[in-house]
Structure 1
Amino acid sequence: MSEAEKEVIIRAVIDRLSARFPEAPRPHIAGIVGEEYESLADGRIRSYIHPD
């Protein structure tokens, strides 16, 4: 996955969480999403199917 693709995915997650939790500061959400993404970056499963 390219860096551009990674950024698009992370931004989409931040957008969804910000919409769901409008009382939480966006920078706080972005920090947590970034930390969690990095902690899972070396995992064996690299894709997730969202159940919309």
Structure 2
Amino acid sequence: MIVNIFIGGVIFGYASWSLVKFIKKSKQGKCAGCSTKNSCSSSCHSISDVPLKK
């Protein structure tokens, strides 16, 4: 019985960790949360890439 509780706790702990990780990445936006954001050639730009208008 204790083993079942431990396994259940591990499963729910991992599910909670994955959910929190997903929510944090989704709040960053499409390109900011992407793991290939530094080498991506899509149309997403960061603030530093946009030229300032005078």
TM-score category (smaller protein): 0.3 to 0.5
The two structures have a TM-score, normalised by structure 2, of 0.38
The two structures have a TM-score, normalised by structure 1, of 0.39
Relative contact order, CA 8 A, sep 6+: which one is greater?
A: 1
Q: Pick the structure with greater CA Rg.
A: 2
Q: Which structure is higher in helix share?
A: 1
